[in-house]
């Protein structure tokens, strides 16, 4: 063995195998951006407005896996775990060093690169809210003399 090989062997023994794109792995719960179908922030996860959108993505990608950020309250995950069970989608609650560093609460990922152009669920499936019409307010005179 050459001196470089010995040094590499010792370094990987002490610190673990070197990883590609560590900043990207920190952001995407230990995964790479190119493998992500769709992502949710903690606010989107708590709102539960995107359950049907996630269901659509699960139906389109039956081989996908759901990654849940372990630093989020686990009671928020129950509708998403039920959805995984309905679609026989595997899920993992990530509780390692990536969970605290990630801005995402949920990621639907593939085993290999898919390179989706848009991964933000709010951008991919915008929620359309119907405006609530307020009743016309009558002035005091109109209410008195009607």
130-139 as b/e, with b when 16 or more CB fall inside 10 Å?
eeeeeeeeee
**12: Cβ contacts below 8 Å, ≥ 6 apart:** 18
Q: What is the pLDDT of residues 11-57, one digit of tens each?
A: 777 777 777 788 888 899 989 999 999 999 999 999 989 999 999 99
Closest by Cα among 23, 37, 48, 35 to 103: 23
Confidence of residue 131 (pLDDT cuts 50, 70, 90): low
pTM: 0.75
Question: By percentage, how much of the chain surpasses pLDDT 70?
Answer: 93
How far apart are alpha carbons 125 and 53 in whole angstroms?
A: 6
What's the alpha-carbon Rg for the chain, to the nearest Å? 23
Confidence of residue 132 (pLDDT cuts 50, 70, 90): low
Going along the chain from its start, the domains and CATH numbers come out as 34-124 (3.30.1330.30)
Q: What is the pLDDT of residues 82-120, one digit of tens each?
A: 999 999 999 999 998 888 889 999 999 999 999 899 999
């Amino acid at each position: 063995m050459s001196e470089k090989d010995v040094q590499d062997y010792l370094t990987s023994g002490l610190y673990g195998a070197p990883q590609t794109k560590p900043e990207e792995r920190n952001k995407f719960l230990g995964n790479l951006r190119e493998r992500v179908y769709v992502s949710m922030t903690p606010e989107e996860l708590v709102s539960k407005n995107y359950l049907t959108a996630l269901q659509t993505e699960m139906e389109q990608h039956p081989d996908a896996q759901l990654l849940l950020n372990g630093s989020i309250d686990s009671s928020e995950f129950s509708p998403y775990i039920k959805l995984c069970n309905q679609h026989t989608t595997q899920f993992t609650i990530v509780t390692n060093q990536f969970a605290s560093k990630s801005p995402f609460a949920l990621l639907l990922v593939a085993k290999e690169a898919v390179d989706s152009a848009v991964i933000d669920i709010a951008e991919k499936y915008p929620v359309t809210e119907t405006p609530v019409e307020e009743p016309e307010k009558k002035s005091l005179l109109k209410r008195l003399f009607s």
